Structure 1
Amino acid sequence: MQNSSNQSYLFKIWRSAVIPYLLVVFIVFFITLICLPLANTERYYLVSYLLLFALFIMATLFRLGPVLLAATLSSLAWNFFFIPPHNTFHIEKTDDILMFVLFFSIAMLNGVLTTRIRRQEQLARDRELRTKVLFQLTQQLSKAGSIDEVLKIAVEEINAQFGFTVFFILQDGNNILFQTGRLQKEKKLNTDEYNIAEWCFKNRTEAGAFTTNRSDLEYTFYPMPGTKVNPGVLATKQEKPVAGENRTFWLTFITQISNAIEREFLAEMATKARFLDESDRLYKTLFNSISHEFRIPVATIMGASDSLLSSPHPANIQSELHNEIFTASVRLNRLIENLLNMSRLESGQLSVSLDWCDINDLFNKVLEDLSGELEPFKVKVTIPENMPLVKIDFGLMEQVLYNLLFNATQYSAPLTKIELSSAHQNDELVIEIADRGTGFPDSTIEKVFTKFYRVDGTKTGGLGLGLSIVKGFVEAHSGIITVENRKTAGARFIIRIPTEKPDIKNLFLDNE
């Protein structure tokens, strides 16, 4: 397959090289043919002007080789057909000899100088175009926010500027190349290709097709050098080698892309390192918190159970011990529920089952579950008389209100007021929970919904998951939750969930 490609490439080179020579031969022949009537006149020198003009035009169109051939053929044709004696290269008159020498010299100089000027002009245009292309490439790469975005831009630009089919083989962070393309997963190297790609990566030297190292391969492999890290290898499928100024342009192109990939690669590695550090920190925090939080209710249950089993107690003491066991069990269950809920949120497996609910039923259920914790407080519940049914997930919203009200009991002094209210405003369910507790420091109020976050100096326990779960459950309803400190004392949580007023007719139909 590679030999066939090389033969096709050589044929194209031969064709592109021969055609200009054939064209100049035809042009000189055509001009000579139409000027033959002037051969037997005294104005034969006019033919030289026409040939010089044609030569000037050809010099702007063709390279130096065809132009020099045209100059030589023009001189010989003018001599053979137009300068007396005709049909011979012999020239009798000194004036004609001088004119022929001048014609040949002018033709050669005209061809050489014109093609040189044209070449310099073309080189200047090419440099300007390449500079513009590199500038645009740099701009596009600077806007990329990930390795995949950089590679997508690179593939498109390489194909547009060079017409190459390319794919990128990147390393895994441990200087080991992957065997498949980063973007094009279907591009997989065979054993020979992978070995050459790895050699190219380690030695920072080109290999594969059109190189001295395994030129029989289908792909050409180019190293992508970086300042700190070598991101990988660029594999191209091309019909011909890149040479001359195009090669300089091509290598600069690769360098720009390599620098952009290296930038994102280092950023990705830094992000992974931060993630690992954060994961390690969260793991230690969670482990310490779980150990502490679980130890208290477990110790309570074990102590009360041991006391009940070891010796008989009066009925009132037994009741207290049973109550301690129950309270500790509830606390332990709440900790487990919070961990399970956070796991559901993190895994994306949380499903919301919306149904028409009565806010009175929701509030009553939560207040009943927290009756023991709320007993020392003055609880004020406000629900408008015209409060409509709302479409929510009853179980999730019950957990939301439970966590918020329980949180209020932990940070408020006994006998203070805890307020729970609801409203329906602008097609939104609005629920507010307000207390007269300590509130939150202004510097930490934006962090209260962060997982495992607990305000410094708080005496209450907990894993720091309750408010994070609340936020996740509210957002699962496409809602938002905000918190603010009250002017006098305490904090206020405001929940807004988009909902609609029920259509009574449709509601009955749904129930049927």
Structure 2
Amino acid sequence: MRSVYSKKISLNQQYVIGISIILLAFFTSYFFQDFMGYKVVALILLLAVSLTAVIFSIFPVLVCALLSALILNFFFIPPFYTFKINSAEDLLLFIMYLLIAMINGVLTIKIRQFEDKKRDEEEKEKTIALYNTLLNSLSHELRTPISTIIGSVDTIVINEEKLSKEIIQSLYDEIATAGHRLNRQVENLLNMSRLDAGMLKPTFDWVDVNELIFKVINENTEKPDDPQVFFEANENVDLVLIDGGFLEMILYNLIHNAIRHTPKNSNILVLSNYNDGRLIIDISDNGFGFPKDEINRVFDKFYKISGTATGGTGLGLSIVKGFTEALNGKIILENIQIGGAHFHIEIPAQRSTLEMEENE
């Protein structure tokens, strides 16, 4: 846990709060001094100094240590209400207390600073590891479509007169597919950055959920040998008050992820429903599912399941979770016993009552 000082509390505030802590310890001890000797009071004041050392910087702590020593001397070491000390034992106690309070404060601060530095180094290492993972993923995920675009354009420019219209059209289709792939990766990166910064705020409007699901399915089924996606419109979710862009991003990444990571002969089932003030979407497949020991990490940024095909940035499912939570919803992933994975999403939403009024 980071110290309060690291949260930009001003130095003056640290002095005021620190002195207040020492005074609180003093008043507490003063009212109960009949039940405890000044040696116990010394321990209480030392505890107060230790508390300030845990949360403040060094100079306020040293001031608190000195103040506590003066309070101990003036109010609790005989003769009372004077800084004079008659007994050599009491003088030794006072000197030892002052030294221990100062040393304890400084050592506590040094330990705290060391822990903060260590934590910063660990966070920095994690950040570097994340960026390395991202760069490694992008080096493949971006290079492939860029190479496709450059290669197709070069082929058309150099051999345009020799190529048939069908071949040229095929090359244009490859350019379009590669362009969409690039655009998708850039959108994922931008969306993740906006989610991390808290910049994305939902804008609610009436959305035809069935139409949106059909649109996302059509955008994802680009190849004839892609897994089949089955969806049947549900009249209960024709019009729902929700952020259509957020919902589209959730559906797109889930369906794209299912198509990308399930065998070609597998099936993907999409279901939608509305119940108890919530939009419910279920996406399941009959593929291989997720490894049990990794299923809790699939929503982490840049995390990719071990043994999966190369490519992808590992952002898709983390974006799904981020957008779902931005809509105050929740997402649950579980493996299906007979094989495959099941994503269950619940999002609070208002449903249009237009059709019900017309029926009445």
TM-score of Structure 1 vs Structure 2, range by shorter chain: 0.7 to 0.9
Q: Is this contact kept in 1: 2:152–2:171, CA < 8 A? A: yes
Structure-1 residue corresponding to 2:43: 131
* Aligned-residue offset at 1:346: 1.8
**Equivalent position to 1:284, from 129, 132, 136:** 132
Deviations 1:113-152 (A, max 9, x none): xxxxxxxx989611133335546876xx5xx9xx8xx33x
Partner of 2:269: 419
Rounded to whole Å, the distance in 2 between the matches of 1:288 and 1:377 is: 28
Could you tell me whether the CA contact under 8 Å between 1:169 and 1:235 is conserved in 2? Answer: no
Task: Mark the CA change 1:422 to 1:250 in structure 2 (over 3 Å): closer, same or farther.
Answer: farther
Give the deviation of 1:260 after TM superposition.
3.8
Pick from 198, 203, 222: which aligns with 1:353?
Answer: 203
Q: Equivalents in 1 of 2:97, 2:35: separation in Å?
A: 13
Within the alignment, does 1:268 sit opposite 2:180 as a pair?
Answer: no
In 1: Cα distance, 2:183 partner to 2:262 partner? 23
Shift of 1:169: 4.2
3-state secondary structure, aligned to 2:188: helix
- How far apart are residue 441 of structure 1 and its match? 0.6
8 A Cα contact 1:374 1:409, kept in partner: no
2:148 corresponding residue in structure 1: 300
After superposition, the CA RMSD in angstroms is: 3.2
Mapping of 1:103-502 within 5 angstroms?
Answer: 125-132=37-44, 134=46, 141=51, 150-151=54-55, 169-170=57-58, 234=63, 244=91, 245-246=93-94, 248-311=96-159, 312=161, 313-373=163-223, 376-387=226-237, 389-502=239-352
User: How big is the shift at 1:504?
Assistant: 5.3
Contact 2:287 2:340 in 1 (8 A): yes
396-405 or 274-283, larger mean C-alpha shift: 274-283
Question: For residues 352 and 110 of structure 2, what CA distance do their matches in structure 1 show?
Answer: 56
After TM superposition, the structure 1 = structure 2 runs for residues 56-67 of structure 1, keeping only pairs within 5 Å, are none
Partner of 1:38: none
- State the partner residue of 2:80: none
Contact 1:438 1:489 in 2 (8 A): yes
| CA pair 299-134 structure 1, distance change in 2 beyond 3 A | same
Scaled by the length of structure 2, the TM-score of the pair is 0.74
Q: Deviations over 1:57-79 (max 9, x none)?
A: xxxxxxxxxxxxxxxxxxxxxxx
Displacement of 1:277: 0.8
| Identical columns (%) | 36
More moved, 243-252 vs 315-324: 243-252
Contact 2:69 2:97 in 1 (8 A): no
Q: In the aligned structure 2, how far is the partner of 1:306 from the partner of 1:477?
A: 45
Once the two structures are TM-superposed, the CA of residue 305 in structure 1 deviates from its matched residue by 0.7
CA separation in 2, counterparts of 1:299 and 1:491?
A: 33
SS at match of 2:296: helix
Give the C-alpha shift of residue 491 in structure 1. Answer: 0.7
The alpha-carbon distance between structure 1 residues 253 and 498, as it changes in their structure 2 partners (threshold 3 A), is: farther
Give the deviation of 1:475 after TM superposition.
0.8
Deviations 1:50-95 (A, max 9, x none): xxxxxxxxxxxxxxxxxxxxxxxxxxxxxxxxxxxxxxxxxxxxxx
Secondary structure of 2:300 counterpart: coil
CA distance in 2, matches of 1:470, 1:293: 19
Aligned 8 A contact 2:152 2:174 in 1: yes
Computing the radius of gyration from Cα coordinates, the structure with the larger value is 1
Corresponding letter in the other structure for 2:43: T
- Paired amino acid for 1:279: T
TM-score, normalized by length of structure 1? 0.54
The alpha carbon displacement at 1:494 in A equals: 1.0
Residues in 2 aligned to 1:239 and 1:272: alpha-carbon distance in whole angstroms: 33
- 1:350 corresponds to which letter in structure 2? L
Deviation by residue 1:342-377 (Cα, 9 ceiling, x = unmatched): 111122211211223221122122123224257733
User: In 1, Cα distance between the equivalents of 2:141 and 2:128?
Assistant: 20
**Structure 2 letter corresponding to 1:300:** T
Gaps of 5+ in 1: 1-120, 152-167, 171-220, 225-232, 508-512
Unmatched 5+ residue regions in structure 2?
Answer: 1-32, 74-90
Q: Which moved more, 1:393-402 or 1:364-373?
A: 364-373
> How far apart are residue 264 of structure 1 and its match?
2.9
Q: What is the DSSP-based 3-state SS (H/G/I as helix, E as strand, rest coil) of the residue aligned with 2:236?
A: coil
1:502 CA displacement: 4.4
Aligned length: 303
Contact in 2 for aligned 1:438/1:490 (Cα 8 Å): yes
In 2, Cα distance between equivalents of 1:398 and 1:375:
24
**Aligned counterparts of 1:445 and 1:374: Cα–Cα separation in 2:** 30
Deviation at 1:328, TM superposition (A): 0.9
How far apart, CA to CA, are the structure 2 residues paired with 1:249 and 1:123?
A: 21
Q: Offset at 1:237?
A: 9.1
